[in-house]
Amino acid sequence: MEKKFRRPRGLEEKGKNEGAQKRPHLVISTGRRTARMGAMDLADLLLGRPLATEEEKAERIGPAKGIPIFGLDALSSAAYGPEAALTLLIPLGMAGVAHIVPISICVIVLLGIVYFSYRQTIEAYPLGGGSYTVASENLGMWAGLLAAAALMVDYVLTAAVGISAGVGALVSAVPAAQPHTLEICLGILALVCLVNLRGVSESGGVFLAPTYLFIGCLMMAILIGAAKTVAAGGHPAPVVAPPQLKSATEALSMWLLLRAFASGCTAMTGVEAVSNGVGAFREPTAKYARLTLTWIIGILVAMLAGIAWLTDAYGIAATPPGEPGYQSVLSMLIAAIGGKGWFYGVSMGAIIVVLSLSANTAFADFPRLARAIAQNGFLPHSLTTRGRRLVYTQGVYMLTILAGALLVFFGGITDRLIPLYAVGAFLAFTLSQAGMVMHWKRVRGAGARSGMWINALGALATGITVAVVLMAKFKEGAWITVLLIPGLMLAMRMVKRHYEWVAHETECDAPLNLANLHPPLVVLPMDRWSRVTQKALRFAMVLSSDIVALHVDAGEQSEELKQRWRELVEVPCLQAGRKPPDLIVLESPYRFVLQPILAHILELGRDNPNRQISVLVPELVEPRWYTSLLHNHRSAVLKTLLLFKGNLRITVVNIPWYLGE
Amino acid sequence: MEKKFRRPRGLEEKGKNEGAQKRPHLVISTGRRTARMGAMDLADLLLGRPLATEEEKAERIGPAKGIPIFGLDALSSAAYGPEAALTLLIPLGMAGVAHIVPISICVIVLLGIVYFSYRQTIEAYPLGGGSYTVASENLGMWAGLLAAAALMVDYVLTAAVGISAGVGALVSAVPAAQPHTLEICLGILALVCLVNLRGVSESGGVFLAPTYLFIGCLMMAILIGAAKTVAAGGHPAPVVAPPQLKSATEALSMWLLLRAFASGCTAMTGVEAVSNGVGAFREPTAKYARLTLTWIIGILVAMLAGIAWLTDAYGIAATPPGEPGYQSVLSMLIAAIGGKGWFYGVSMGAIIVVLSLSANTAFADFPRLARAIAQNGFLPHSLTTRGRRLVYTQGVYMLTILAGALLVFFGGITDRLIPLYAVGAFLAFTLSQAGMVMHWKRVRGAGARSGMWINALGALATGITVAVVLMAKFKEGAWITVLLIPGLMLAMRMVKRHYEWVAHETECDAPLNLANLHPPLVVLPMDRWSRVTQKALRFAMVLSSDIVALHVDAGEQSEELKQRWRELVEVPCLQAGRKPPDLIVLESPYRFVLQPILAHILELGRDNPNRQISVLVPELVEPRWYTSLLHNHRSAVLKTLLLFKGNLRITVVNIPWYLGE
């Protein structure tokens, strides 16, 4: 049978005359104009024009672009990792500073182990193997969920810590801004969120300049500092002296060193990025990804080693965070090496930008992780929907809200966020390495044995670190992640269960059942005889011949209505030979209007157990929103009540009446 | 034709077999159980059980009850009127206090004139003649609207000033509470609102005890003070000396006295209450109402005269309001006369309660006034609806919000509210008197001439007072009322216009038109073939044989859907000899889902200009609210979009699917 309606102008028709039955399935390609109907100009201005799905482009990259894109998060950790360890050494006074060297050596050794582990992951997953993928594929659902929860916590903290550390650098350079730390943090978060809703393409040059500037400045400072230190025989004179240290308030203990090491481990966060994104590299992907990883880890090791040596040499201790007079360790170090001239300014600027951008990497990774989890049904489906700019919008919002909550809760102070940070990251490392062990076991063959041993070492080392961090940081905040991660896992499991249940409930493989297609019993609540009622009644008469009009009498006389009903409805119906609709008056001594209607409809449902009931709800639509304040909104309330108190057999038909049309 | 459904148990049927056509009009009396369905227990607890309309009782009262009920507002004015005048005299120093005597004499003379005027209103309107009624009946619509606006402003200020003056008395007795003035004001306002939502019956004894206690205490203090003054030859020694006065900072001027008089006029607010409520008195209503009015005015005059004389004799000047150390004039006066013993405590307690209750009279009057105006169509109809406790709930809310806004804006300080107060009250007096002049002119007959002269004098005196108050208080706040009252009048006129327009738009005197009852074109947006879709499609097939299923393809392949559609829908339809529904796939390169659907529906509407279009919107209803967060809410958004962007020919049919049923 042919369609009765004209085809809209300018729309093409595809897929006609295909399929077994030779029935036309019309495919209409809506043009830009139509698709964008209703989109506001403000959204265009803020977020940019919508992008078509086919506009997505996948540029393949090499190490030069790979280092900034995938290394930013890891490299920027050098700006807060050593500081986090030094902050814990404050109570030891000047004597504490020297301990940064052995702590950094431990971190660097761990980094080396993780490096060799991840080289193997890159080899094994040339399309990209994040912890979630590796753990769920090799260790089963629960391990996958554990990795998912750990990574979600990790990314939220990456965003929060990146921003708070960037603002920490800012208030070091501009001490007057210190009282507004939290406000500046939230402002930057909002900006990062907006930029990500616009969907900054990763291959854009945004990351290149600041990352290389950051590497350049820091390496330059380290080299100059190293030269001066060697020239001065190990004890160089600072150009700008760091603030005076208070004397020791605590004695050295193993426990304190363990806690400082646990904090220092945050310097390693972000090194998994390359293995997640192997697919983005030029062919052969694994080769270029490994090369990039080598560069990143090499630079990071150089930075950590240099910072540790020079802070010790210059005698730079951390200042108490969140208090007036706070200055970041890198700020003091660079000022001590080169003074507070233009080099200091450029370096601090690069640090601020790189730290803010490292928050941005969480915004690139979190929505994709959330999508991957949601595609498996463990998170709300809406996380898989791409917004106008091809970005997983809901994931961006979710990350913004969670990171914002963390910043508000911890006052935007990096040091308070650190205890929560390392657990998630190292848990994800451990699961990824452990998954790789299982991978090698399955694969077997040449190199599998040595590969397995390397990954097992990685899993062991990172696993021990998780235990150390948990223990050392438990009271300070790690307990939050201990509650959060299993909670997230359970929640994800329940989401999956719910979706399975809904799918089961709505699943239908049966063909359309055409039996028992009876007209419904129609109910029409009405106030008085008006054009609106007449329109609704005409619709009712098309629908069925069993019509009940309901009128609620809350004290006023309804005799006139009954009289009019007889004259204006019943007489014409009888003359036309149709069954006239019934008018039922519900007396309402308590003056409730909707409850008697609802009760009566539900009663009708019980009394007619095999019948559909259609409730016709006429509704006035005002041309202006403010005039709608002059009317009661019983129609809207009745629709809602029927939706929530109704049942499968009750359908609600909304008959809108547009005033002034 | 007989009804097909069983009558619900326990419901009676009335009005059967009446009327010309002998058709049954079923009248169902819903019992308490049914009527209350869905009412929450919390509401019962806070507001009391619902009252049936027939439970309303009208107790008729005499002067003993009439004085507290209708006199409370007027009598409590003695607690802030003289103080308002004295506050303006502060800059004159000690010399200023003496001027309270001539100012009070002017106020008392004015009060006498108003008294005689209102005696006549009571006579002429034995069913109750408020300013709004008298002005609209005798002077036309615009004068009525002016009176309505003036009275609304007056009542809002009565509520705000009553509460703020009560709290002023409280902080005089308990100075530690002074910094929390505004919070206490808002707390009392909330309480008064809640009490009024419960619907305190006016005939209840709440008002009796505090009012007579207030009158007793104040008269007792005045008598003792008078005796002491006479005994001391005019200059009695205070028991507790009032705070020291600062020396004069301003010279005496006519302008200052005029402003003090304008403030003092607030002592007269509330005297119109008896004339509004004549209908509540015992027969002969006019006689008892006049007697009550005489008593109220008599007591008020005695109080005002006594306060003026004694503040002068004891040398009590006002203290700067809203500042630490503030004490109300009555507090200082009673302490000076009798010391701060138990009598002081009882008196201050009575003043606090009476002032708070005087706010309550605004809550009794405002909703009724709003109802009267709304019944004439000048305010939203919802103001005429009586809530569960027979109270005009919306009016109570409206007054609470407006009075609350005033209290917040003016910090809960009586003195800052006073300039706004007198204008509304005196404007209403004037219009009422002027209306009475026209009334006498129309009535003619014996006494009409003298009656007319009395009311003309009243109108003149109050009219002049309005002008004086406006002029004297313009800069301090009266300008607000000058903007507000005409604004309100215009708004009310526009509301009426709008209602008339809506009535005109929906008016229908024509009988039901049974011509051209064609089945609609049915549109069914769908995602996949499911039980939900099947249910909607079955409903569609009952409705019409022209059905279009719309599927939006945002990138994924829709071949499988087309295949299933052929097998599961088209084949069974063709086998059953029915026209199969069309499946249209809308390609959406920008991944928008709702916009293409909406655009296509509107396009269908344009292409089929004479056809109804029914859009079937299937909707999942979750058994628990939180699981509904796991689904997108496209159905709800689509319904809203269709309501606002649709037109007369588009109806929306909601097909709910209840999960887990």
* pLDDT tens-place string over residues B196-244: 887 655 445 677 888 999 999 999 999 999 999 999 988 898 888 888 7
Task: Decide if A38 touches B, using CB distance below 8 A.
Answer: yes
State pLDDT tens for residues B448-488.
Answer: 888 899 999 999 999 999 999 899 889 888 898 989 999 99
Q: In which residue are the tokens 């649709």 written?
A: B646
Q: How far is CA A652 from CA A266, A519, A557, B533, B616, in A?
A: 57, 14, 29, 16, 10
Distance CA A286, CA A282 (A): 9
Q: What is the DSSP letter of A4?
A: S
Distance between B63 CA and the closest CA of chain A, angstroms: 33
Tokens representing residue B247 in the block: 């020396």
Residue type, A383: L
The b-or-e profile of B582-618 (16+ CB within 10 A means b, else e) is: bbbbbbbbbbbbbbbbbbbbbbbbeebeebbbbbbbb
Q: Write down the pLDDT at residue A24.
A: 46
> Which residues partner with B651 through β-bridges?
B614
Residues 327 through 386 of chain A touching chain B, CB cutoff 8 Å = 380-382, 385-386
Give phi and psi for B615, each to the nearest 5.
-100, 120
pLDDT-derived band at A459, boundaries 50, 70, 90: very high
Share of chain A above pLDDT 90, in %: 39
Distance between CA A568 and CA A565 in Å, rounded? Answer: 5
Confidence of residue A57 (pLDDT cuts 50, 70, 90): low
Contact status of A640 with chain B (Cβ, < 8 Å): no
DSSP B24-92: --EEEE--HHHHTTT--HHHHHHH-S---GGG-----B-HHHHHHHHHHHHHHGGGTHHHHHHHHHGGG
- Give the CATH class of A64-500: mainly alpha
Average pLDDT, chain A: 85
Q: What is the pLDDT of residue A290?
A: 92
Tell me: pLDDT of A9 over 50.
no
A583 touches chain B (CB under 8 A): yes
State residue B571's pLDDT score.
92
pLDDT of B58 = 60
Which backbone phi and psi does B587 adopt, to 5 degrees? -80, 135
Out of B30, B645, B650, closest to residue A596 by CB: B30
pLDDT at B205: 65
Contact A607 B21 (CB under 8 A): no
Cis amide prior to B284 (ω within 30 degrees): yes
- Domains of chain A, residue spans: 64-500, 521-658
A15 by Cβ neighbours in 10 Å (0-12 / 13-18 / 19+) ranks as: middle
pLDDT surpassing 60 at residue B50: yes
Tell whether A8 lies on the interface with B, counting CB pairs under 8 A: yes
* Arithmetic mean of pLDDT, A154-168: 91
Residue A308: CB atoms within 10 A of its CB come to 24
What SS3 state is found at B552? strand
Q: Look at residue B24 in the predicted model and tell me its pLDDT.
A: 46
Searching chain B, which residue's CA lies closest to the CA of residue A596? B35
Residue-level pLDDT at A56: 65
HSE-up of residue A640 (Cα within 13 Å, Cβ side) = 6
- A521-658: CATH superfamily: HUPs (3.40.50.620)
CA distance A13 to A28: 6
Q: Which residues contact B639 (CB under 8 A, 6 or more apart)?
A: A654, B617, B652, B654
Beta-sheet pairing, B13-14 with B650-658: unpaired
Confidence check: pLDDT of A387 > 80: no
pLDDT band at A646 (very low <50, low <70, confident <90, very high): confident
The percent of residues in chain A predicted with pLDDT above 70, rounded, is: 90
When mean pLDDT is compared across A128-132, A198-202, B593-597, the lowest value belongs to A198-202
Q: Does A201 touch chain B (CB under 8 A)?
A: no
Chain B contacts of A651, Cβ < 8 Å?
A: 539, 653-656
How many whole angstroms from its chain centre is CA B370? 6
A83 pLDDT exceeds 90? yes
Across the interface, do B591 and A385 touch by the CB < 8 Å criterion? yes
Do residue B570 and residue A23 have CB atoms under 8 angstroms apart? yes
Q: Judge: B589–A657 Cβ closer than 8 Å, yes or no.
A: no
β-bridge partners, A524: A549
By the 8 A CB rule, do A172 and A327 touch? Answer: yes
* CATH class, range B65-500: mainly alpha
Q: pLDDT grade, residue A58 (50/70/90)?
A: low
Q: At A591, is the pLDDT very low, low, confident or very high (cuts 50, 70, 90)?
A: confident
Quick: pLDDT tens for B297-325: 999 999 999 999 999 999 999 988 878 88
User: In the prediction, which pLDDT does B128 show?
Assistant: 74
Q: What percent of chain B has pLDDT over 90?
A: 39
- Measured CA to CA, the distance from residue B590 to residue A49 in angstroms comes to 10
pLDDT tens by residue, A288-323: 999 999 999 999 999 999 999 999 999 999 998 878
A598 — pLDDT class (breaks 50, 70, 90): very high
pLDDT range class, residue A34, cuts 50, 70, 90? very low
> Of the candidates B64, B106, B574, which has an alpha carbon nearest to the alpha carbon of residue B305?
B106
Minimum Cα–Cα distance from A592: chain B residue? B35
d(CA A659, CA B137): 32
Q: Is the pLDDT reported for residue A636 higher than 80? A: yes
Chain A touched by B579 (CB under 8 Å): yes
Confidence band of A38 (pLDDT split at 50, 70, 90): very low
How much is the pLDDT for B21?
A: 39
CB contact under 8 A, B508 and A533: yes
Query: Counting runs of H as helices and runs of E as strands, what totals does chain B give?
Result: 24, 7
Q: How far is B30 from chain A (nearest CA, A)?
A: 6
Q: What percent of chain B lies above the pLDDT cut of 70?
A: 90
Query: Chain B residues with CB inside 8 Å of A388's CB?
Result: 590-592
| Token couple for B244 | 């020291």
Mean pLDDT of A557-566: 85
Structure tokens at A580: 């006239």
Confidence class for position A26, pLDDT limits 50, 70, 90: low
CB within 8 Å: B30 and A554: no
Residues of B in contact with A583 (CB under 8 A): 25-26
Q: What is the DSSP string of A548-564?
A: EEEEEESSS--HHHHHH
Contact B36 A596 (CB under 8 A): no
Lowest mean pLDDT among B202-206, B325-329, B489-493, B527-531: B202-206
Residues B418 and B145: their CA atoms lie apart, in Å, by 23
Rounded Cα distance between B611 and A653, Å, is 17
Q: Is B545 on the interface with A (CB under 8 A)?
A: no
Q: What's the average model confidence in pLDDT over B106-110?
A: 94
Q: Determine whether the interchain pair A585/B26 forms a contact, defined as Cβ–Cβ distance below 8 Å.
A: yes
Strands B650-658 and A650-658: antiparallel
Main-chain phi, psi angles of A413, to 5 degrees: -100, 115
Cβ distance B52 to A505 less than 8 Å, yes or no, reads no
pLDDT above 70: residue B23:
no
pLDDT per position as a tens digit, A91-121: 888 888 889 999 999 999 999 999 999 998 8
CA torsion through residues B390, B394, B400, B402, sign: negative
Least confident interval from A216-220, A395-399, B35-39, B562-566:
B35-39
The residues near A232 (Cβ < 8 Å, ≥ 6 apart) are none
Place of tokens 């307690």: B349
Q: What is the value of pTM for the model shown?
A: 0.75
Nearest CA in chain B to A619: B643
Residue-by-residue DSSP string for B428-482: HHHHHHHHHHHHHHHH-STTHHHHHHHHHHHHHHHHHHHHHHHHHHIIIIIHHHH
> Among B74, B78, B99, B79, which Cα is nearest to B88's?
B99
Q: What pLDDT is stored for residue B173 in this prediction?
A: 85
Residue A615's H or E segment, with its range, is strand A613-621
Residues B648, A630: C-beta atoms closer than 8 Å: no
Instruction: Inform me whether the pLDDT recorded for B6 exceeds 50.
Output: no
Q: Do B520 and A541 touch (CB under 8 A)?
A: no
Find tokens 């004297």 and name the residue: B472
Q: What is the mean pLDDT of residues A540-556?
A: 87
Over its C-alpha atoms, chain B yields an Rg (Å, rounded) of 34
d(CA A34, CA A37): 5
Output the CA torsion sign for B534, B536, B537, B541: positive
CB within 8 Å: B36 and A583: no
Average pLDDT over residues A597-623: 90
pLDDT in tens, B399-421: 999 999 999 999 888 888 888 88
CA atoms of A209 and A195, how far apart (whole Å): 18
Answer whether residue A28 shows pLDDT above 80. no
Q: How far is B613 from chain A (nearest CA, A)?
A: 11
Cα B269 from Cα A90, distance rounded (Å): 71
Mean pLDDT across chain B = 85
pLDDT one-digit tens code per residue, A493-517 = 999 999 999 989 888 888 888 888 8
B421-439 average pLDDT score: 90
Do residues B282 and B60 touch, judged by C-beta distance below 8 A? yes
